[in-house]
Amino acid sequence: MAEQKAFYAITNDEALKRLQTNEEAGLSAQEAQTRLAQNGPNALAQGEKKTLLQRFLDQFKDFMIIVLLVAALISGFIVHEWADALIILAVVILNAAFGVFQESKAEEAIDALQKMSTPNAHVRRGGQVVTIPSSELVVGDIVLLEAGDVVPADLRLLESANLKSEESALTGESVPVEKQTAPLVGDDIGIGDRTNMAFMNSNITYGRGVGVVAATGMQTEVGRIAGMLNAAQETTTPLSENLKALGKTLTIMILVIAAFVFAVGVWRGAETLPEMFLTAISLAVAAIPEGLPAIVTVILALGTQKLAKRNSLVRKLPAVETLGSTEIIASDKTGTLTQNKMTVEKVYYDGQLHDAKEGVQSANPLLRIMNFSNDTKMQDDGQLLGDPTETALVAYGQTQNFDLKAELKAEPRVAEVPFDSERKLMSTIHQLPDGRYLVATKGAPDQLLKRTTQLAVGGEVHEMNAADEATILRENTGMAKQALRVLGAAYKYLDTLPDSVNSDTIEQDLIFAGLVGMIDPERPEAAKAVADAKAAGIRPLIITGDHQDTAEAIAGRLGIIAPGDDAAVITGAELDKQSDEEFEKNVDKYSVYARVAPEHKVRIVNAWQKRGKVVAMTGDGVNDAPALKAADIGIGMGITGTEVSKGASDMVLADDNFSTIVIAVEEGRKVFSNIQKAIQYLLSANLGEVLTLFMMTMLGWDLLAPVHILWINLVTDTFPAIALGVEPTEPGIMKQKPRGRKSNFFTGGVGQAVIWQGILEGLLTLGVYFIAITWPIHTTNAAIHADALTMAYATLGLIQLFHAFNVKSVHQSLFTVGFFRNRTFNWAILLSGLLLAVTILVPGFNGLFHVTELDGFQWATVLGAGVAMIVIVEVVKFCQRHLKKG
């Protein structure tokens, strides 16, 4: 069976016949009810939702969470440290609650689409015009449209009287589309070019029309987008992938080392089997960074607070870090890179082309005609309502001190010839004080020139010749090549009005006044933002439903492509001709995508992701929502963005400012850098603990008790690690290349630093223990070993606090970074140090923690080890920097 043609490709009669309806009478009430029962309501379906309990339990499938639960069980039931077990469980539950909250917010995208449905529609039912809820519309219903209406379903237009529809939320095109009823020729015509169709949730801005419902609910273009949102797979962030990989790696290493220590201890026979089991458990607890998920969450939360102060509202915590690894920013054009407001940019009059900012005299006929031949409504508060093209002309007149209200009062409109899409002209007629009439005509320059016989230059009127016409057409073409929307203006005077006011009697023998070139201009700060992004190694792309020439011109003006670089521009139709494999190979050739549909945007994002790139997608329309959800980070617009696009986003720009993205990227890079510092600190400290216990076991020394390890982990891990999360941004961070998807927490020298610094911590601790038993202050063996364990415990805790200063930068000197720039860090170190000292210095805690009082020499030895940690690391960093320079 041959495939049916699309509705836009068939005639009105063919559409009515296929849909089994009648334009004049519409469907009967009984037939409408039958179709409603068969096809369901005109509403968007929602994906199957999980219960609150299911979402909560899903959070415990994460490997690191399982590790934490095991650590809690060990701490409670075996080590009998119930306080620590409860802290770990609290961390797990808090993370699960965050996850449920984030997942619930993500589902708001579909809910927002549902809310966009229009409440009522005007239809013909049984020969009568009735108003019904739009949810009751069925295929075949005849719908009446007029200015101000929201289209209730996808319609094949049957009548169009100057009908214009604003479809930017679907297509990304800022200019309302002029509608007509003739069938279109061609295959796979894009949404923005289907001029005989009206789409659900688009807005009628001008004229009136009649259409037959061709699709409802999930079969509409908006429905297709909702379907893509339901089917979209949640992307995993580089942060979550890194944490998952880190958790698995650490767990395997911990189990191997703990089993080895247990086996060696049992083989040596120095301790009983239960004692060695507790030792192995202590080692495992020492190695597991149980506070890591909570610390990462806190660092991310602090990052979101900073971003919120700079107009970036983060909806999902991992998005903060993902920003820092972004390599591609695929941006919508309209309203994101541009102002989403048509603006006069060029004016041509008196035979010369001028920049709009040069100004036009209020008496100039061009300024007068563009304001008179205009249906813009001026509200009392100064707001302009109407077609964006017409409001741009009036807004320009206001900048030139043209008082339209006063002028219309002196020369009121008395008649008009409305705009018609065939002749592409509009004329208004005004009564002049001297009794004559002024005809003000504007429209397409080529059509206007067919009706002009004279030319106004410098206040005088001349006969127009072929050379004049050629010059005007050349200027028109020049502006069009700059992606400007060009309108021509002409006029004439009448002594009396003809009996019949129409195009034939009014729009003849006109005097040409000039041309106006308009565009939706780029945001003033966008060019710098693009340059900053490029300097940071990020590639910006434009993905828009607008015309190729407009997209290419804006991209050239912003510096995304070189002006005139056609090879970097591709349309949705051209993209359809490439297979996924072919497009994936060619994707790095293109920086501008024009006339694209929603599925194209998702395809572009996916192609870059298959190339291993981390992709950020910005957008504000319904058409952007699937790509926002598919991208590694979706960035919605807070002011102009639809609720759908904001609901599908990971982050929302409160000021719709593209440059805010660059600020957010810098914050994201800082957050990752600070998470790296926290991980370097935690893992090197844990490695030092593991090495200390391992070597004590191998050497047959007395072992640190589980309570020692747990307290050190509790007081020295959490506060300094969180404080490292608010370290200031290191210089030059935006001159580095993006980390990308393949990077991890151990890149940039962090992995090596963790290993050698962890070994150094362990060796210094063991060295202090050795000094304590070699040069004791007591004589009994029990007292000597008690002092040695106390000194080892104090050293292992304090050395980690000293090492926290080293971790302020992986490579830079502490003297460059600054000891005390971060006040939060200073207080965290002080608090941790006090909590550690309390267990040794405050009477009553000694017995609880199995420690003794230390004298001045012993404390000097402990503090000396801490200072040595800073000195040795500084020397190594110095050598590394100079070797790198060499």
- Residues identified as active-site: 332
* Dihedral over Cα of 847, 853, 858, 862: its sign: positive
CA angle 593, 595, 600 (to 5 degrees): 65
Q: Which residues pair with 677 in a beta bridge?
A: none
3-class secondary structure, 486: strand
CA angle 248, 720, 314 (to 5 degrees): 70
Q: Are 371 and 441 contacting, i.e. CB atoms less than 8 angstroms apart?
A: no
* Dihedral over Cα of 825, 831, 837, 839: its sign: negative
Non-local CB neighbours of 621 within 8 Å, separated by 6+ positions: 168, 169, 170, 171, 172, 332, 334, 335, 641, 642, 645
Q: Are 803 and 757 contacting, i.e. CB atoms less than 8 angstroms apart?
A: yes
DSSP state, residue 150: B
Determine the Cα–Cα distance for residues 769 and 772; give it in Å rounded to an integer: 5
Determine the Cα–Cα distance for residues 679 and 694; give it in Å rounded to an integer: 22
Q: Token digits for 335?
A: 């309203």
Determine the Cα–Cα distance for residues 767 and 607; give it in Å rounded to an integer: 55
Q: How far is CA 806 from CA 164, 342, 683, 794, 809, in A?
A: 65, 55, 14, 19, 7
Q: Which residues pair with 338 in a beta bridge?
A: 522
For 479, the enclosing helix (H) or strand (E) is helix 466-481
* Dihedral over Cα of 255, 256, 260, 261: its sign: negative
Q: Are 230 and 47 contacting, i.e. CB atoms less than 8 angstroms apart?
A: yes
Determine the Cα–Cα distance for residues 645 and 628; give it in Å rounded to an integer: 7
Strands in 776-858 per DSSP E: none
Q: 606: number of CA atoms within 13 Å, CB side?
A: 16
Q: How many whole angstroms from its chain centre is CA 150?
A: 28
Q: Are 168 and 334 contacting, i.e. CB atoms less than 8 angstroms apart?
A: yes
What is the number of other CB atoms lying within 10 angstroms of the CB of residue 201?
23
For 355, the enclosing helix (H) or strand (E) is strand 352-355
Non-local CB neighbours of 46 within 8 Å, separated by 6+ positions: 110, 111, 114, 230
Give the position of tokens 């599908």. Answer: 648
Determine the Cα–Cα distance for residues 415 and 439; give it in Å rounded to an integer: 9
Determine the Cα–Cα distance for residues 746 and 547; give it in Å rounded to an integer: 45
Determine the Cα–Cα distance for residues 458 and 359; give it in Å rounded to an integer: 15
Give the position of tokens 């057409």. Answer: 473
CB-neighbour burial class of residue 584 (10 A; exposed 0-12, middle 13-18, buried 19+) = middle
* Dihedral over Cα of 148, 152, 155, 158: its sign: negative
Q: Are 168 and 150 contacting, i.e. CB atoms less than 8 angstroms apart?
A: no
Q: Token digits for 33?
A: 């009810």
Determine the Cα–Cα distance for residues 664 and 687; give it in Å rounded to an integer: 34
Task: Label each residue of 784-795 as H, E or C.
Answer: HHHHHHHHHHHH
Q: Are 294 and 80 contacting, i.e. CB atoms less than 8 angstroms apart?
A: no
CB-neighbour burial class of residue 124 (10 A; exposed 0-12, middle 13-18, buried 19+) = buried
| Cα radius of gyration (the chain) | 36
Task: Label each residue of 279-308 as H, E or C.
Answer: HHHHHHHHHCCCCHHHHHHHHHHHHHHHHH
